[in-house]
Structure 1
Amino acid sequence: MNCPPESVVAVSRSASHDFSKPTAESITLVEGWGVEGDAHAGVTAQHLYVVKKDPGRANLTQVHLIQEELFAELADRFVVGPGELGENVTTSGVDLLSLPLGTRIHLGPTAIVEVTGLRSPCSKINAFRGGLMKALVAKDDDGGVIRKSGVMSIVVAGGEVKPGDALRVELPSAPHLPLGVV
């Protein structure tokens, strides 16, 4: 497949709350809902940990995105591929972690997601690959926590997304706010 430099590498979904999600030929994003047929889709939060704490909380984690470049960074210690860290969309060519809050990512011809924050990796990551959690949470030179396990978003315009689709980043108006954990 010959993909544009900023593109969708893979798409994934799972109807159950498994850690990894199998890749698919395409996914359908539904405005205000998430990925059609995915266990984390809904108006209110669907992540089991959040549901226990605050079942009525708005779902700011409808679509999880990870940059393919993370897999290359981890390759000397771990074999990880698209969907295995639970993401719905694997991207290439965009540093997702550096995007400001409210960035809109256009996926394919019609779908748009709005970045709501960083994913905080949970301990299930170590059950998937021992020691992976430590590789996904690091410290910067000032002692600040760096979370590398992708970004979360909400769907603001629906549509089909498939591997090979171009993606385009639309930054929000300044001032740009850094991403926090959702």
Structure 2
Amino acid sequence: MAGRVAAVSRNETYSFSKPNHGSITLLAGLGVEGDVHAGETIRHQFRMTYEPDLPNLRQVHLMHEELFDRLALKGFQVSAGQLGENVTTRGVDLLGLPTGALLRLGDEAVLEVTGLRNPCAKINDFRAGLLAEVFTIDPVSGDFTFTSGVMAVVRRGGTVRPGDAVEVELPPPPHRPLERV
């Protein structure tokens, strides 16, 4: 599987959306340089209050640009960075990846996928009704899956820019499906 980076975003302060930039620097074991969610331990504002010492499995948020296409068909105009992601991709089945998949971005950076993004209710403050559009329900089992991207940790740092290639390396089988982190 190969795709490309469509956009990169970061924000130094807690805010739902993140402004786009010409490049971001990924720091091994930490996340996106200059992003409020970078760090070895949890940086999610709500979760820090009750799990402050847990490892940060949400160092980098990746979202597939194809989600924006699907949301547009339902009347929601969303663009890169607006849902808080750091890396927006095109042509990569992020939601189909197993836990532990490696993503090579550009010439240097390597991310390890840790799980699904668990969107919070603030998404409805951004666009009313949007939360209901970023998960799917299996009609047979009733199980639901989040569709608002994946989370990853930085295994090897580097600079990432729009247009960079994204290459996927699957872990050895058996593959573990993504769960929310």
Shorter-chain TM-score above 0.5: yes
State the partner residue of 1:19: 16
State the partner residue of 2:36: 39
State the partner residue of 1:162: 161
State the partner residue of 1:96: 94
Shift of 1:53: 1.4
Which residue type is aligned with residue 177 of structure 2? P
Post-superposition Cα deviations, 1:85-126, rounded to whole Å, max 9, x if no partner, equal: 000000010110110000000000000000000001100000
Question: In 1, distance between residues paired with 2:165 and 2:152?
Answer: 18
Shift of 1:163: 0.1
Shift of 1:138: 2.2
Question: In 2, distance between residues paired with 1:50 and 1:106?
Answer: 28
Trace 1:30-179 onto structure 2 (pairs within 5 A).
Answer: 30-76=27-73, 77-141=75-139, 142-179=141-178
Question: In 2, distance between residues paired with 1:144 and 1:10?
Answer: 31
**How many residues in Structure 1 have an aligned counterpart in Structure 2?**
178
Gaps of 5+ in 2: none
Question: In 1, distance between residues paired with 2:55 and 2:3?
Answer: 30
Which residue type is aligned with residue 159 of structure 1? G
Relative to the length of structure 1, the TM-score reads 0.96
Post-superposition Cα deviations, 1:41-75, rounded to whole Å, max 9, x if no partner, equal: 00001001110111101000000000000000000
Question: In 2, distance between residues paired with 1:121 and 1:71?
Answer: 15
Question: In 1, distance between residues paired with 2:100 and 2:127?
Answer: 32
Question: In 1, distance between residues paired with 2:120 and 2:97?
Answer: 22
RMSD: 0.8
Return structure 1 stretches of 4+ with deviation > 3 angstroms. Answer: none
Relative to the length of structure 2, the TM-score reads 0.97
Deviates more, 1:141-150 or 1:153-162: 141-150
Gaps of 5+ in 1: none
